Amino acid sequence: MDANKQANNNTKISVITATYNAVKYLPKLIESLQQQTDKDFEWVVADGGSTDGTLELLKQVTGIDIKITSQADFGIYDALNRAIKQCEGEYYVVAGADDYFYKEAVAIFRSAITESVDFVATAIDCNGKLLHPKGGSVSKNGAAALIASHSIGLLIKKSLHQQYGFYSPKYPILADQLFILKSVAGGAKLVNSPQATGFFSTEGVSCSSPLRCLTEFFCIQVDLGSNKYWQSLLFLKRLIQILPKM
């Protein structure tokens, strides 16, 4: 057995999910985790103090190595940061409560791991459309140039957070963009797999608040050193494009 394959077999993978009153969404995600062909993973759920039966549902889950905590938090990234600190995996993948994995997802992620890999980006299913990274420049497309989705479609090396920080509370919608772009700019290695790992729901905040999303994207790009005049022009162009939808 070669060294990379041996590393794959020994690598612990965590799935992390932030929940808050998500009982109606979780059954499909739970089922998808129970059906994974590769069972060597843990599921870490950081709940924000649900009162709708979410915790009761989670406590009934069988067939998965699951860890649950529940406390008040300051939003999804605060909860994800808590889950990252509690997970035991060398790598983790985020799953929204309303997302779900294809049954080969964990196996696909594991097969792409080598000693030098920091991120594994895959394709995702978004409302029946297969999405891949856009390509192009990160100054124009942000993290979408590199990945299809932070949730469901990206395996992340946990130790990167020691070097580049956890998800910033400054950006409640796009903190993942800041972390990914900082990491890659700093030399983190990202590899792409053409295979799809699951279904991404478009009911999240980043999809329902286009103006807030656009504003955060602009601020992140400027924070990372992109030309503020170029970014201002992009902001205005995209604002005109989304105005009819608001």
In the chain, domain spans: 3-207, 209-246
Name 46's bridge partners: 18, 69
Strands 91-94 and 154-157: antiparallel
Among 40-44, 132-136, 201-205, name the one with the lowest average pLDDT.
Answer: 201-205
- CATH number assigned to the domain covering 3-207: 3.90.550.10
**What percentage of the chain's residues is helix, strand, coil (to nearest 5)?**
40, 20, 40
- Burial (CB count <10 Å: 0-12, 13-18, 19+), residue 27: exposed
| Residue bearing the bigger pLDDT, 77 or 4 | 77
Distance between CA 30 and CA 24 in Å, rounded? 12
- Res 210: pLDDT: 86
- Cβ 191 vs Cβ 112: under 8 Å: yes
Q: pLDDT band at 242, cuts 50/70/90?
A: confident
- Cβ 118 vs Cβ 183: under 8 Å: yes
Look-up of token digits 């993290």? 143
- Res 208: pLDDT: 62
The whole-number average pLDDT for the span 147-169 is 97
**Intra-chain end-to-end CA distance of the chain, in Å:** 56
- Res 1: pLDDT: 42
Q: Write the pLDDT tens digit of every residue in 161-196.
A: 999 999 999 999 999 999 999 999 999 999 999 999
- Cβ 125 vs Cβ 196: under 8 Å: yes
At residue 135's C-alpha, the angle toward residues 146 and 153, to 5°, is 40
- Res 9: pLDDT: 65
Give percent of the chain above pLDDT 70. 94
